[in-house]
Amino acid sequence: MIPQKQTKIKPKNESVDYAEKKFNHQINKRIERIFFWSLVLFLIVSFFARNNFKSVKSPNSKLFNEPIRTELADSSPIEFSQDGFKFTLTPLYEYEMSALVVNRLDYTWFSLTRASNAFPMDLCMTWGENIRSGAYRHSSVNFRQDFRFCFGNWSRESNFSWAEVSNNHLVIEDEAIRKKAMSIVEGDQIHLRGKLVNVKAENMDGNLGKYENQISNWNSSVKLGDSGAGACEVIFVEELEILKKGNPFFFHGFKFALYALLSIIFWKVGVFFYEIWREK
């Protein structure tokens, strides 16, 4: 007689507990995946929505006014040094403006010359009747920036006016103002005060890059509504106020989604390497 192999039968309660744990594990995994991909989707949506200037529906009345240019109270040159260059700014006019940011380009990561680091960003902005009438929200109105120029497109039906648009090179010496300026995005309503200046940058350390000159000059436009090379305002910023963030929900939501995703990824990578180490 051949002895039969006995099969160990799990207690009923133990089988139920195992099935319940497996089910809960599957549910948790599914929730994790849904949460992760929801964050990815929201990150993509908020990346574009946070910079949508057309979503601004209640502009500050200060934006209805033209920039104010007045004679100088003090025309003394402004001098400072940065990144191996000495900068001499020749003031032309006192300048003050409130406007809507329709495009922004940060040059801190890809400037061709160290001298241009004194202009950390360019802001393309509009004001006046473009704001009052809501023309800036027309579907045909679009802007882009490249190589220190701002380019715009719109249809005749939009009633949008280029005379109420300017591309502004911001010269910022004060670190607190620079930090605030770097937080500006499209759709923000801002107020700034400073001086229109001509800029002379002279190399002081003798280390000239491929695209750098011993002396470089940037001159400011002093006329609103002009276009082409030399039409940009060069502004030495002395005061900067963000009157209202353009899309605060998506602006802060983008940061939350980005940091949350990075935290999840780092956590998963850490757990992965911990499991490898524990099995050794």
Q: What is the pLDDT of residues 96-110, one digit of tens each?
A: 999 999 999 888 777
Look over the chain and give the mean of its residue pLDDT values, rounded to a whole number.
87
Amino acid at 244: K
The structure tokens 């900068």 sit at: 87
Asked if residue 204 lies in contact with residue 86, where contact means CB atoms within 8 angstroms, the answer is yes
Is 259 among the domain residues? no
Is 189 among the domain residues? yes
Is 164 among the domain residues? yes
For the chain, the first-to-last Cα distance in angstroms comes to 47
> How confident is the model over 244-257, as a mean pLDDT?
86
Q: How far apart are CA 104 and CA 168, in angstroms?
A: 10
pLDDT over 80 (residue 280): no
Number of structural domains the chain divides into = 1
> How confident is the model over 108-133, as a mean pLDDT?
86
Is 35 among the domain residues? no
Task: Give whichever of 89-93, 174-178, 221-225 has the largest mean pLDDT.
Answer: 89-93
pLDDT of res. 230: 82
Check residues 213 and 1 and name the one with the higher pLDDT. 213
pLDDT of res. 4: 57
Is 159 among the domain residues? yes
Size of the chain, expressed as the number of residues it contains: 280
pLDDT over 80 (residue 17): no
pLDDT over 80 (residue 113): no
pLDDT interval class at 6 (50, 70, 90): low
Q: How far apart are CA 201 and CA 110, in angstroms?
A: 19
Cα–chain center distance at 94: 27
> How would DSSP label each residue in 38-90?
HHHHHHHHHHHHTT-GGG--S--GGGGSPPEEE--S----EEEEETTEEEEEE
> How confident is the model over 134-161, as a mean pLDDT?
93
pLDDT interval class at 154 (50, 70, 90): very high
Is 275 among the domain residues? no
pLDDT of res. 32: 87
Neighbours of 2 (CB within 10 A): 4
Domain range holding 175? 56-247
The closest alpha carbon to 95, from 260, 224, 226, 229, belongs to 224
Question: pTM value?
Answer: 0.76
Is 264 among the domain residues? no
pLDDT of res. 234: 95
pLDDT over 70 (residue 274): yes
pLDDT interval class at 147 (50, 70, 90): confident
- Tokens at 224, concatenated: 């609103």
pLDDT of res. 58: 87
Amino acid at 135: A
pLDDT over 60 (residue 123): yes
> How confident is the model over 6-10, as a mean pLDDT?
54
3-class secondary-structure state, position 137: helix
pLDDT over 60 (residue 7): no
| Residues forming beta bridges with residue 201, ordered by sequence position | 87, 216
pLDDT of res. 64: 97
Is 41 among the domain residues? no
> How confident is the model over 17-28, as a mean pLDDT?
76
Neighbours of 71 (CB within 10 A): 8
pLDDT by residue (tens digit) across 184-237? 999 999 999 999 999 998 988 877 776 677 788 889 998 888 888 888 999 999
Residue 221's region, left for phi above 0, alpha for psi from -120 to 50, else beta, is beta
3-class secondary-structure state, position 125: strand
Q: Which residues contact 275 (CB under 8 A, 6 or more apart)?
A: none
pLDDT by residue (tens digit) across 47-72? 888 778 998 988 999 999 999 999 99
